[in-house]
Amino acid sequence: MIKNPVRKEQFVKWVLVAFALSSLLFLFLIFMFILFEGLPLFHKVGLKNIIMGSKWAPTKGFFGIYPMIVSSFFVTFGALFIGAPMGLSCAIYLSEYSGKRMKMFLKPALELLAGIPSVVYGFLGVIYIVPLIRNYIGGSGFSLLATSIILGIMILPTIISISFDSLVSVPKTYREGSFAMGATKWQTIYKVVLPAARSGILASFILGMGRAIGETMAVIMIAGNALRIPTSILDPLRTLTGNIALELAYATGDHRLGLFSTGVVLLIIIMILNYIANFGIKRKM
């Protein structure tokens, strides 16, 4: 042990700096290794043939992931279409309408939704949502619709908690000013509170998109994983994440590099979404 208190302080400080730098190191390693494995194929096959190519047959030299990029965005917007209105209205209810007791119960309960593992969502999707769609709407059930419903539920906690935070941070005086002018509660929410919380709410949607586009296990269980662009909401599809998870266990050689190229595209999309979301959250503050 170091006896001299001044030197001990110095020592502790440097250890803590090293700890703090470890996060950066990990981020660097993740980027480096995914890019290192994924980029050579872009050079070899050509950026256009990968990003715009529509044929994925990695053992025959076709690495087109265009259908998966499109599919990933389809399920993401599908999830947003279902999750955003539900999540936002829950957040409004929690911040503007519910009593203190109700809030104490509801908020943790909704956050517990986030704790349920994605495999469980996928399983329930297969057991309940997929047959429901197959029997009452059509198709095989493994579809864009089923995936959007499950992902829509999965992104609820993200949307609710971040929208809630931004609604709560709208100053009380804004609301009082509006009430004083004779506005009803809903007019106040709609015309004053929501516009004031706009950037935080948008950020919650974008973070929800980030979760949906990155979601893997639930998606591969219910999306059907077909290798083409879905033409209706009842068509099966394969996302970028699904492509990696389905084939990584047995892929070798260029095939594996192709999966890392898929990872590179996913990583870039996620980083852009997170950057936009963080920008939205920061501007609010």
Partner 1 sequence: MRINPRFTNKFVQIGLNFQAFFTVSILVIIVAIICFKGLPYVNFEFIFAYPEDMGRLGGIFPSIAGTILLALLSILFATPLGVGTAIFLTEYTKESLFTKIIRFGVESLAGIPSILYGLFGFIFFVIKLRMGWSLLAGVLTITIMILPTIIRTSEEAIKAVPRNLRMVSYSLSATKWETVTKVVLPSAIPGILTGIMLSVGRAVGETAAVIFTMGSSLRLPTSLMDSGRTMAVHFYILAREGISMEKAYGTSLVLVVSILLINVLAYYIMNKAISKYS
User: Hey, which residues between 42 and 81 contact partner 1 (CB under 8 A)?
Assistant: none
Among 1, 3, 23, 135, binds partner 1 (CB under 8 A): 23
Q: Rounded to whole angstroms, what are the CA distances from 149 to 27, 142, 156, 168, 241?
A: 32, 12, 11, 28, 18
Please give the residues from 251 up to 280 whose contact with partner 1 meets the rule CB under 8 A: 259-260, 263, 266-267, 270-271, 273-274, 278
Residue 219: CB minimum distance to partner 1, A: 10
Residue 62: CB minimum distance to partner 1, A: 21
Residue 144: CB minimum distance to partner 1, A: 19
The window from 1-9, 56-64, 70-78, 168-176 that contacts partner 1 (CB under 8 A) reads: 1-9
Among 39, 70, 86, 194, binds partner 1 (CB under 8 A): 86
Site map 92..131 versus partner 1, x via CB under 8 A:
xxx--xx-------x-xxxxxx-xxxxxx-xxx-x-x---
Among 193, 197, 213, 234, binds partner 1 (CB under 8 A): 213
Shorter beta-carbon distance to partner 1: residue 29 or 137: 29
Q: What angle do CA 80, 85, 90 make, to 5 degrees?
A: 120
Shorter beta-carbon distance to partner 1: residue 8 or 48: 8
Query: How far is the C-alpha of 250 from the C-alpha of 124, rounded, in Å?
Result: 27
By CB under 8 A, tell whether 185 contacts partner 1. yes
Strand partners, 237: 224
Residue 16: CB minimum distance to partner 1, A: 4
The window from 41-49, 73-81, 170-178, 217-225 that contacts partner 1 (CB under 8 A) reads: 217-225
Among 9, 81, 181, 283, binds partner 1 (CB under 8 A): 9
Among 1, 3, 19, 173, binds partner 1 (CB under 8 A): 19
By CB under 8 A, tell whether 168 contacts partner 1. no
Residue 171: CB minimum distance to partner 1, A: 20
The window from 67-75, 136-144, 165-173, 238-246 that contacts partner 1 (CB under 8 A) reads: 238-246
By CB under 8 A, tell whether 136 contacts partner 1. no
Shorter beta-carbon distance to partner 1: residue 23 or 135: 23
DSSP string, the chain: ----HHHHHHHHHHHHHHHHHHHHHHHHHHHHHHHHHHHHHHHHH-HHHHHT---EEGGGTEE--HHHHHHHHHHHHHHHHHHHHHHHHHHHIIIIIS-HHHHHHHHHHHHHHHHS-HHHHHHHIIIIIHHHHHHHT-S-S-SHHHHHHHHHHHTHHHHHHHHHHHHHTS-HHHHHHHHHTT--HHHHIIIIIHHHTHHHHHHHHHHHHHHHHH--HHHHHHSB--SS--SSTTS-B--HHHHHHHHTTT--HHHHHHHHHHHHHHHHHHHHHHHHHHHHHHHH-
